[in-house]
Structure 1
Amino acid sequence: MGEADAEEAVLLIHGFGANTSHWRFNQPVLAEQAPTYAIDLLGFGRSDQPRARLKDEAASDDAVHYGFDLWGKQVADFCHEVIDRPVRLVGNSIGGVVALRAAQLLGEHCRGVVLIDCAQRLMDDKQLETQPAWMTWIRPALKTLVRQRWLSTALFRNAARPGVIRSVLKQAYPSGANIDDELVNLLLKPTQRDGATEAFRGFINLFDDHLAPQLMEELKVPVHLIWGAKDPWEPIAEARRWTQTIGCIESLEVIPEAGHCPHDEAPDQVNPVLQRLIKTASTQQAT
């Protein structure tokens, strides 16, 4: 049986600060339909947490430049070496941008991408024209500040507390559904590791990296969007604009009361959409 006839697998890619456990309500359900994997991006969850090297810093053996090329290659390598069959990538938040970059690298090995509230990355320099004028004025000072390791470490340690995590979750999950101790703990536990601050430092210094629309302009595979209507950080209006202007996007499914992580906040609504997309893709491959 050639790869064109092989059963499709699914790979779930978490967002910033999350990990494989964030798919707690999705992976078991999808696994009943297709081989389903989840991955901890480098620097998060249980993965290695090497020291961060910023773009203009000298290369060293013990440091990496955290960014979408690094994470995209990690996902592509995992698909080739572990999954070893055609794959559909599902990514939430920055995991969506990672999925798009990985899809580029995978070429025909990727059957499609599902973006769940994909990160729009409004702090990227290429997004400045969409931001208020004052953002342009403070940008140089902001860049100088966030590159300081002492500051990024202090910011991270302040955020890596149960009360703060729960407060952020109340913003991300506007319905309040599934904000439980299990969720707080699965997000908190990786932050207690020694190297946990490094990926945070690398990420907040990504001012010139890939944007989702640019990556999709070059994609040949179908892309589907799932979006929480009340996402406080990634406006649904932008998702609708993408759907109207980007050729590879085939559908947009809006989850009415959900926010930034509808797969965890409203899995009873998101899982059927994912199952339908996987089933439809499998049917199309079989005909």
Structure 2
Amino acid sequence: MEKWAQLILDFLDEIVQKPTVLIGNSVGSLACVIAASESSRSLVRGLVLLNCAGGMNNKAVVDDWRIKLLLPLLLLVDFLLRQRGIASAIFERVRKRDNLRNILLSVYGNKESVDEELVEIIMEPTNDAGALDAFVSIVTGPPGPNPVQLMPRISLPVLLLWGDQDPFTPLDGPVGKYFSSLPSELTNVSLFVLEGVGHCPHDDRPDLVHEKLLPWLAQLPAS
């Protein structure tokens, strides 16, 4: 996670070269939070977080009864994925088109958004060299910095957009509850819950995202 955040900062510093609003979804949101918390050169002027993840994987979420219930299974999966042959077999099963489609259908509120183009976009990187290693690293590796420690450091304007049908970071889970509480604690944070929307609001219901995002961007102080 820290490496991704540094890549964001390097891109802003070397290419964009002006204060920028960062917009991220899921672990992309977390990478933006890390980048904003570490930026000491006014590279970031605002954050838009769409269903922000609590970490790279479920190891970051330690106080959710659902994770506690699944913990033995998660530990077993970690062990199995460290066996190259087993990891390869699991990866090949996960990356099958029908499996990916079913996973996407479970995380999108608007099922019509899950079309063949989306499935192909998700499938394509699984053909890259190193895809298996990346898969294993994401699932078994460290979760990265916790946003609970990072958000209080950030004084920039922050817009939170959260799909209420998200099975990965549900509003009633610890991550969702934490971010939902922020507007009452931090004056720089605004939250809008998007009804009938899943884990990827920008693709699930872009119209609802734009409805909240564009006015928020328009009222930001000039950089």
Q: The TM-score by the shorter chain falls in which range?
A: 0.7 to 0.9
| 1:113 corresponding residue in structure 2 | 47
SS at match of 2:35: helix
- 1:140 & 1:239 partners in 2: Cα distance? 24
Quickly say closer, same or farther: Cα 1:111–1:168, change in 2 above 3 A.
Answer: same
- 2:120 & 2:74 partners in 1: Cα distance? 34
- 1:195 & 1:223 partners in 2: Cα distance? 35
1:74 lines up with 2:7 in the alignment = yes
Shift of 1:88: 0.7
- 2:81 & 2:190 partners in 1: Cα distance? 37
- 2:123 & 2:72 partners in 1: Cα distance? 35
| 2:23 corresponding residue in structure 1 | 90
1:243 lines up with 2:169 in the alignment = no
Point out where structure 1 has 5 or more consecutive residues left out of the alignment.
Answer: 1-67
Shift of 1:157: 1.8
Contact kept in structure 2, 1:123 and 1:207, CA below 8 Å: no
Residue in structure 2 matching 1:128, options 62, 66, 83 = 62
Residue identity opposite 2:106 in structure 1: Q
- 1:135 & 1:171 partners in 2: Cα distance? 18
Point out where structure 2 has 5 or more consecutive residues left out of the alignment.
Answer: none
Contact kept in structure 2, 1:116 and 1:262, CA below 8 Å: yes
Quickly say closer, same or farther: Cα 1:72–1:248, change in 2 above 3 A.
Answer: farther
% identical aligned pairs: 28
Give RMSD over aligned pairs. 2.3
Residue identity opposite 1:251 in structure 2: S
1:253 lines up with 2:186 in the alignment = no
| 2:218 corresponding residue in structure 1 | 279
Residue identity opposite 2:54 in structure 1: Q
SS at match of 2:103: helix
Shift of 1:148: 2.9
Give CA deviations for 1:72-95 in whole Å, capped at 9, x if unaligned. Answer: 111111111111111111110110
- 2:118 & 2:86 partners in 1: Cα distance? 27
Give CA deviations for 1:83-124 in whole Å, capped at 9, x if unaligned. Answer: 111111111011011111111232321111111011124722
Residue identity opposite 2:216 in structure 1: L
Residue in structure 1 matching 2:36, options 78, 81, 103 = 103
Q: Which has the higher helix share?
A: 2
Give CA deviations for 1:149-205 in whole Å, capped at 9, x if unaligned. Answer: 333332222111211111111101133131111111111112112221222111112
Quickly say closer, same or farther: Cα 1:73–1:128, change in 2 above 3 A.
Answer: same
Residue identity opposite 1:77 in structure 2: D
Quickly say closer, same or farther: Cα 1:73–1:163, change in 2 above 3 A.
Answer: same
Residue identity opposite 1:88 in structure 2: V
Residue identity opposite 1:87 in structure 2: T
- 1:138 & 1:233 partners in 2: Cα distance? 17
Quickly say closer, same or farther: Cα 1:201–1:268, change in 2 above 3 A.
Answer: same
Contact kept in structure 2, 1:223 and 1:248, CA below 8 Å: no
Contact kept in structure 1, 2:113 and 2:203, CA below 8 Å: yes
- 1:285 & 1:134 partners in 2: Cα distance? 48
1:221 lines up with 2:221 in the alignment = no
Residue in structure 2 matching 1:205, options 127, 140, 143 = 140
Q: TM-score if structure 1 supplies the norm length?
A: 0.68
- 1:136 & 1:248 partners in 2: Cα distance? 36
- 2:77 & 2:69 partners in 1: Cα distance? 12
Shift of 1:129: 3.7
Residue identity opposite 1:160 in structure 2: R
Contact kept in structure 1, 2:78 and 2:139, CA below 8 Å: no
Shift of 1:241: 3.6
SS at match of 2:161: strand
Q: TM-score if structure 2 supplies the norm length?
A: 0.86
